[in-house]
Amino acid sequence: MVMPQGTRYHLNGNNCSGVGGANNAWVVAASDITVNATCTIAIDYFPATYFLTTNTSPDGNIAPLAVANQPNATPATLYRYEIKPANYSSAAQYAAAIQNFANWFSYYRTRHLAVRGGISIALTGVDFLRTGLFTINSLTNPVEMRDLALATDRGDLYSTATGGIFRNPQNGGTPNRQAVNHAGGQFQRSGANAPVQLACQANHGWQCRWQHGCTLC
């Protein structure tokens, strides 16, 4: 790894493959530093930052920093924007930009959060569906069906306590064939809580996968 000149970093110890700096102190790199060992280095950064391919920003940021054709990287020019008061023409523009960043960080910064947010937004105002939810690593049987016309059922669909959309992130493998088979098996059920209630109703089975930065449904 190469830390570029100007990087502010912190070492837990002095011995880190020739990386200079006092023990347990913040240091600014006077030149590029190549790190060839496994060690712990904290790097200072400003979190409210985004990158665009253009030098004009839709949120009014007037201080882009060009990051062009970096060595050992794909040739390209990106512009780094830091959401700081001094980088905006008005306090209102800055307030809107930092609020937008806070919303993204709180609700959409990971794939799991983004999918949950997208599902909850898509279901806003939808009160004519009965829907159930299970993860591919936990084949709940039978899958509990929720009537979105009922406030309690809608709440249970989202609740972490009932294993809803906002439960903790799942882990494990991706047994997709078993999951699709399990979803299909639910439509063979009968009874009061079965997915199929009427012979003429529309039925759909959806599967969402989080993989390599993409969500497929």
Contact in structure between 17 and 48 (CB atoms under 8 Å): no
First and final CA of the chain: distance in angstroms? 36
Query: Can you give the pLDDT at residue 98?
Result: 97
pLDDT above 70: percentage of residues in the chain: 83
- What gap in Å lies between CA 105 and CA 170, rounded to an integer? 20
Contact in structure between 51 and 81 (CB atoms under 8 Å): yes
Stronger pLDDT, 111 or 60, i.e. the higher one: 60
Angle at 101 between CA 96 and CA 102, to 5 degrees: 95
Which tokens go with 174? 């991706």
Q: How many CB atoms lie within 10 A of CB 175?
A: 13
pTM recorded for the entire structure: 0.66
Identify the band that residue 12 occupies on the pLDDT scale cut at 50, 70 and 90.
confident
Helix (H, G, I), strand (E, B) or coil at 107: helix
